[in-house]
Amino acid sequence: MTSQEDKMIAIAMPGQAAAGRAQRGGAERRSNEQDWALEGIFTSGAGPEPGGAVIAPPHPLYGGSMDSPVVAEITWACKRAGFATVRFNWRGVGASGGSPSGENAHADTDYVAALAYLEDTVPGPIIAAGYSFGAATAVRIARASPRVRRLLLVAPPPALLDAGALAGFRGRVLAVVGSRDSFAPVAELAASLGDDPRRRLEVVPDADHFFQRGLSDVSRLAGAWLGAQTPEWLTQRADGE
């Protein structure tokens, strides 16, 4: 679902056609040879030098797409805080080119492409964000750009987190998880985050990994952390803006 402020975009994946030829033993495709792109949505930010957020969806082999309600909540919180956003579909999902893949290397390449698009579009600092599998990917990519200053992670499974990448990230981190999340148990996630004061863990009562309950708490908690929680913001959110 998109609004009038949303812009459908094609995120270039340069070199993919050539890579495909190499995997096929160098065989040439005689027609229709072109680099493919990821499907995405860009929403502009506020202010003269807005920052931005890249928001990655959950696992592509289990129905993960940028249409996820949780991805929408993260996007909404970032928008209300004045950040531009890019959310995207993994390769092979929706209108994105390529074949579906659950490989970390492919996810990293897709995320880096979305990050590059945002870096070319907004001048300010960037938040690397994601939900579930997408959150774990955001952690791995966060150190790839000095402009990534924060991590916003929703239900990141500890089993998928790169401990070294997380430990090496020096910016602020928010993790939001449901108290009944069997994929991201609260105790395990707390241990992964450690006791660094720059890292915050927020637990949504009675919510599972899919936030069938407590969905609006995702944007509420993210908005507060981003500095967007004002009386007007809360009122507008309650009215269903």
For residue 222, give every residue at least 6 positions away whose Cβ sits within 8 Å of its Cβ, in sequence order, or none. Answer: 73, 74, 77, 78, 152, 154, 174, 176
Higher-pLDDT residue of 25, 143: 143
The answer to whether 104 and 137 have CB atoms below 8 angstroms apart is: yes
Q: Please choose, from the candidates 221, 153, 210, 159, the residue with its C-alpha nearest in 3D space to the C-alpha of residue 188.
A: 159
For residue 133, CA distances in Å to 9, 37, 52, 78, 83 come to 22, 21, 20, 20, 22
Q: Tell me, what CATH number does 90's domain have?
A: 3.40.50.1820
Confidence of residue 15 (pLDDT cuts 50, 70, 90): low
pTM of the model: 0.87
* Residue 44, domain member (yes or no): yes
pLDDT of residue 49: 83
The single-letter code of the amino acid at 237 is R
The pairing of beta strand 126-131 with beta strand 52-56? parallel
What's the mean pLDDT when you consider all of the chain?
88
Please count the structural domains in the chain.
1
* Residue 48, domain member (yes or no): yes
Condensed to tens digits (0 to 9), the pLDDT of residues 95-154 reads 999 999 999 999 999 999 999 999 999 999 999 999 999 999 999 999 878 999 999 999
DSSP secondary-structure letter at 183?
S
* Residue 219, domain member (yes or no): yes
pLDDT of residue 48: 78
* Residue 17, domain member (yes or no): yes
- Rounded to the nearest angstrom, the gap between the alpha carbon of residue 231 and the centroid of all alpha carbons in its chain is 27
The single-letter code of the amino acid at 226 is L
The single-letter code of the amino acid at 213 is R
Phi-psi group of 155: left, alpha or beta (phi > 0 → left; psi -120 to 50 → alpha; rest → beta): left
Average the pLDDT over 16-41 and give the result. 54
Q: If you compute the radius of gyration of the chain from its CA atoms, what whole number of angstroms results?
A: 18
Confidence of residue 4 (pLDDT cuts 50, 70, 90): low
Confidence of residue 60 (pLDDT cuts 50, 70, 90): very high
Condensed to tens digits (0 to 9), the pLDDT of residues 190-241 reads 999 999 999 999 999 999 999 999 999 999 999 999 985 444 433 444 344 4
The answer to whether 13 and 98 have CB atoms below 8 angstroms apart is: yes
* Residue 144, domain member (yes or no): yes
* Residue 89, domain member (yes or no): yes
* Residue 116, domain member (yes or no): yes
* Residue 1, domain member (yes or no): no
pLDDT of residue 238: 38
Domain of 177? 6-238
pLDDT of residue 35: 79
Condensed to tens digits (0 to 9), the pLDDT of residues 62-97 reads 999 999 999 999 999 999 999 999 999 999 999 999
- pLDDT higher than threshold 50 for residue 14: yes
